[in-house]
Amino acid sequence: MVHPKLNEVDSLRTIVVKVPAKAMLFGEYGVLRGGAAVTAILPAHSFRVGFTLTDAHETADCGIEFESALFSESVVVQAELLGNPECFPANSDHRKLCCYVTGFADRLKNKKLKVRVLESYSPALGFGSSSALIVAFQRALGYFFNTPENDVTPQNLYRSLLNLQGKGSGYDVAAQSWAVAQDQTDSPRVTYFRNTGFAGGEFVPEVNQIPVSLSELKKLGCFVRTGVLSDTTAILKQTSQLQNLNEFCALQSECASRFLSMPTAENAAELCRRSAVSAQQAGLLPESADVIDFVRALEQENIAWKTMGAGHGDCLWVVESGRRIEEILRRTDSKALSISFAFAGKD
């Protein structure tokens, strides 16, 4: 495999990794049971992360120093603690760093890794900010400790995800890693994901691009930010208690399969309508007056929409032009809502 062109290598021990955002279109819950997922790769939003690895001559210097504009100061984790994320509070940045380097903690014992986020997007979009960082760390560490031709180990990606959030299908890290490996970081793509090792309890991701024409791609509409930040772990736990969970997951898988058989905007709109009804019945629509008013306006104009990913916040996918959605947002005076991405660009 050729090392991704967009990973700018300055020297043997310095690398910059760019990871595009992703958005789940169909299959968000069926994928947890081995079904297919349809995912959009969104290079308009990306993480660009710089890594520098050096030998540390003093024990106190070994470990990770993580810099981001989101932090008032650097987050530092000493090397001897990297393999023990449970020693840090849940959801702390220190614990997250330990999760990002899953599989490499022992190899960092005599090293100093400086990491700086050069470009990022808001976690409130639900576009996979945590999974983007997992992919960036795993690709950089794989480069430092192996060769540029070696691919990221899927098991390390998946273990990192599980260490970070407890459960998940792995579609997000697989799709974003695929985008970087295939150098698909310049324009939107639609892909499908399936864990072909699901039946055997293994993580064997299969990711491929879905042949959606450019004209159909532009008709897929836009993502509207709800202003409500979702908690994926909490939502998955809540949804697992649904009385009709089997039927709910089956419908999600069916929507993904039907889009794969006919990847058109018209079919996407029909499937969105089906999925939206199911998501509302499952309580996945954010309980926000702005969101409720916006959805009501969409339905009055027969515009297809659905919750994105786990739901209950972040973004809604709306199969309509950005220009028309902007008009509806102005009319409903939805101050908390805004278009975060449009497949057709600024139309």
Q: What is the mean pLDDT of the chain?
A: 89
Cα(107)–Cα(344) distance, integer angstroms: 45
Domains of the chain, with CATH numbers? 8-209 (3.30.230.10), 214-342 (3.30.70.890)
Q: How far apart are CA 213 and CA 218, in angstroms?
A: 9
pLDDT at position 26: 95
Give yes or no for residue 248 having a pLDDT over 90: no
What value does the mean pLDDT take over residues 99-112? 93
d(CA 82, CA 106): 8
C-alpha distance from residue 167 to each of 178, 210, 318 (Å)? 21, 26, 28
Name residue 16's beta-bridge partners.
Answer: 8, 50
**What's residue 11's pLDDT?**
44
Q: Are 307 and 27 in contact (CB under 8 A)?
A: no
Edge-to-edge strand ranges of the sheet holding 222-225: 305-307, 315-318, 222-225, 338-342
E strand residue ranges, the chain: 8-11, 14-26, 37-55, 63-67, 75-78, 111-119, 189-195, 205-209, 222-225, 305-307, 315-318, 338-342
In degrees and rounded to multiples of 5, residue 6 shows phi and psi of -80, 0
Per-position b or e across 50-81, b if 16+ CB within 10 A of its CB? bbbbeebeeeeebbbbbbeeeeeeebebebeb
pLDDT of 7 strictly over 60: no
Answer yes or no: are the C-beta atoms of 205 and 34 closer than 8 Å: no
Site of tokens 């959605």 = 325
DSSP 328-340: HHHHHT-TT-EEE
Question: Tell me: the pLDDT tens digits for 185-243?
Answer: 778 999 999 999 999 999 999 999 999 988 999 999 999 999 888 777 777 777 777 77
Of residues 270 and 168, more confidence is placed in 270
Provide the token pair at 224.
């509207």
Q: What is the mean pLDDT of residues 319-329?
A: 95
Regarding predicted confidence, which is higher, 185 or 306? 306
Query: Which tens digits make up the pLDDT trace of 22-55?
Result: 999 999 889 988 999 999 999 999 999 999 999 8
155 φ/ψ sector (left φ>0, alpha ψ -120 to 50, else beta): alpha
CA pair distance 176, 155, nearest whole angstrom = 15
293/26 Cα distance (integer angstroms): 24
In this prediction, residue 3 carries a pLDDT of 44
Across 118-122, average pLDDT: 94
